[in-house]
Amino acid sequence: MNNMQIGSTPHDDRTGVSAPSGLCAQARGASGGQLQPEIWMQEGVKRVEQALTRLLCAEDDGGIELMAAMRYATLGGGKRTRALLCLAAGALADTPAHILDDVGAAIEMMHACTLVHDDLPAMDDDVLRRGLPTVHVKFGEATAILVGDALQAHAFLTLANLDASRDNHIALVRELAQAVSAKGAAGGQAMDLALVGKYVELDRIVAMHRMKSGALVRASVRMGALCAIAEDAAPAMLYCALDHYSACFGLALQVVNDILDATADAATLGKVPGKDAAAQKPTCASIMGLQEARQFALDLLREAGEAIAPLGPRAERLAQMLHQANAYLFKHAPCA
């Protein structure tokens, strides 16, 4: 994981990073054309799932079920969007796949931690997650609290144990910690709770979303790049482009979630629909209206694509993540 000295692939003067090869090339068609998203995404999900299974080892925990509950919260479900964003950003340079897999797994552990805590009765009080009983419903509230705590610790342990330089360790740990800090997911959740039952301007909702869910999306993209490209050694435009991309993408994902909470069924959501309205929580959808919120999400996805256009073909996987989000929106939230 040397900074900016990665592999022997062709160099691109626009970003100062090497063009992706290896696994990236394997996902190309026989004609050497565009990357095939269904190949690299499916393979990426499989590899991250294997990393999670290895890192959250099913040891005998003396009947206390903590590890079993951690695995229940983390394995066998979810789209792995954040891990895939990490892998996609890692394709900006020839980052070793096993490094990206473990970083992606650490991000998914942290994401699972936030979900387990968000689902608690004192927070969002959800009883379904990914179509299954939430952790506190299945294992009890006390165990669910410990599951979130332990998953956070295991995420940082995973980063600490990477085959990487000291500087890489520090950069990755700092990025993930910031994403769930009082300026990230924790602060966003606190703001979310404080806004219940209140009328607020759209910019407050956007600020809350950028912290509660957007901060971890931003970290996922940055951590994929940071595996190989130190920020202080990278061209100035690289991380500016990635931050703009992730800010738009992260907010778009949350706007889509707001829309689906108001329009989709439990089978689509994997959780109880209509919770936001029932809890009197202001959302982008409730403030803007469904159709305007839908257009807002589409505009954000387009803006994210424009942000990474200067990065050229190495950013193709990041662009394909946008295409997937667009397709999901058109499928599950069509025009009225």
CA 286/CA 293 separation, integer angstroms: 9
260 and 294 Cβ atoms separated by less than 8 Å? no
Q: Alpha-carbon distance 133 to 116, whole Å?
A: 11
**What confidence score (pLDDT) does residue 8 get?**
29
Q: What b/e readout covers 121-139, taking b as 16+ CB neighbours within 10 angstroms?
A: eeebebebbeebebbbbbb
CA dist list (Å): 111 to 49, 79, 168, 173, 179: 14, 12, 21, 15, 10
Q: What confidence tier does 25 reach under pLDDT thresholds 50, 70, 90?
A: very low
Res 254: pLDDT:
93
**pLDDT value at residue 30:** 30
pLDDT at 10 over 60: no
Lowest mean pLDDT among 34-48, 81-95, 303-317: 34-48
Token pair belonging to 207: 């600020």
Please determine, looking at this structure, whether the domain spanning 36-332 carries the CATH number 1.10.600.10.
yes
The yes-or-no verdict on residue 263 having pLDDT over 80 is yes
Q: Please determine, for residue 180, whether its predicted confidence score (pLDDT) is greater than 80.
A: yes
Per DSSP, the three-state class of 283 is coil
Mean pLDDT within 63-89:
92
What local confidence, expressed as pLDDT, does residue 59 receive? Answer: 72
Q: What is the pLDDT of residues 204-229, one digit of tens each?
A: 999 999 999 999 999 999 999 999 99
The answer to whether residues 102 and 223 touch, using CB atoms and an 8 Å cutoff, is no
Sign of CA dihedral 219, 222, 226, 230: negative
Q: How far is CA 71 from the centre of its chain?
A: 18
Give residue 336's pLDDT. Answer: 56
pLDDT category at 290 given cuts 50, 70, 90 is very high
pLDDT class of 202 with cuts at 50, 70, 90: very high
- Position 194 scores a pLDDT of 93
Over the stretch 223-247, which tens digit does the pLDDT of each residue have?
999 999 999 888 889 999 999 999 9
Structure tokens at 116: 């387990």
> pLDDT tens for residues 86-139?
999 999 987 899 999 999 999 999 999 999 999 999 998 899 888 899 999 999
Return the pLDDT at 278: 82
Contacts of 261 (CB under 8 A, 6+ apart): 269, 273, 274, 275, 276, 277, 283, 285
pLDDT band, very low/low/confident/very high, at 34 (cuts 50, 70, 90): low
Mean pLDDT estimate for the chain: 86
Per-residue confidence (pLDDT) for residue 265, from 0 to 100:
79
pLDDT(311) > 80: yes
Predicted pLDDT of residue 324: 92
Are 24 and 90 in contact by the 8 Å Cβ rule? The answer is no
Q: Strand, helix or coil at 118?
A: helix
Please give the residue that has the higher pLDDT: either 22 or 283.
Answer: 283
Q: Is the pLDDT of residue 23 over 60?
A: no
Q: Which residues pair with 18 in a beta bridge?
A: 11
Q: In angstroms, rounded to a whole number, what is the distance separating the alpha carbons of residues 43 and 83?
A: 12
